[in-house]
Amino acid sequence: MEDVIILNLGFNKLQLLKGKDGYIQMDAGYRWDIKRYLKLLKKNNIKPDEIKLIIVNHAHADHAGGLKKLKKITNAKILVHEEDADYIRKGVSSKVAPRTLLTKILEWTMPESFKNYDPIEPDIVIKDNYSLEDFGVKAKVIHTPGHTAGTISLITEKGTAFIGCCAQGFPLRLFPGPPSVAQDIDLVYTSWQRIIDEGATEAFISHGKSISVLKMKKILKKRK
């Protein structure tokens, strides 16, 4: 496996991929996760200024809430997809439809303060197939919509994939599978197929353990 470090913030996980000159990070967590985040960096002997790029899987508060604080601490570039960029600029979460009883309850009961976050201007806004070689890794960011319109994933040349909420696990699901909330579930599965076609061999997600590519293939096969 490539040099991947998992930062477990509790509800969600961030992934770090080591490059030649520093680290690429997937997501920023909630704004109140900062102290835990810094402790985990220290535990892994990583200095904040070694984080060179933060990729936002999508514009929800548990993925983008800490962006403003982390930008100040790390001075990392922030990369988002154009479809979710305005949400990041406004500090609001993009709308999704709950698909399970648990997420319906969360949608009804969650206060707005959990959905909103500090707005920030992204440094890099992409459409698709964005190379990360300038950041010292042989990898690219691809557009994988469905959870939100601007959901993106990172896939390395060796097949390591960070797919955020393209799939979800515990506590949103008992076992890793399709996301429990989505704008367009059919697009989610289309994105799964693309992730597989791009050569993913291992897929890290934000909530729960990684999902196996074999399981993704089995779920897709059942849908046909």
DSSP, residue by residue, 121-152 = --SEEE-S-EE-GGGTSSEEEEE--SSSTT-E
In sequence order, the 6+-apart residues with CB closer than 8 A to the CB of 148 are 58, 59, 60, 83, 84, 94, 96, 183
pLDDT tens, the chain, 224 aa long: 578 999 999 999 999 999 998 999 999 999 999 999 999 999 999 999 999 999 999 999 999 999 999 999 999 999 999 999 999 999 999 887 666 666 666 665 666 666 799 999 999 999 999 999 999 999 999 999 999 999 999 999 999 999 999 999 988 888 899 998 899 999 999 999 999 999 999 999 999 989 999 999 999 999 87
If residue 90 lies in a helix (H) or strand (E), which one and from where to where? helix 82-90
Q: Are 206 and 13 in contact (CB under 8 A)?
A: yes
In 44-138, beta strands by DSSP E: 51-55, 77-81, 97-98, 124-126, 130-131
Tokens standing for residue 194? 């693309």
State how far the Cα of 28 lies from the Cα of 64, in Å rounded to an integer: 5
Work out the burial of residue 73: count CB atoms within 10 Å of its CB; fewer than 13 is exposed, 13-18 middle, 19 or more buried. middle
The domains of the chain, with CATH numbers, are: 4-223 (3.60.15.10)
Q: Are 80 and 124 in contact (CB under 8 A)?
A: yes
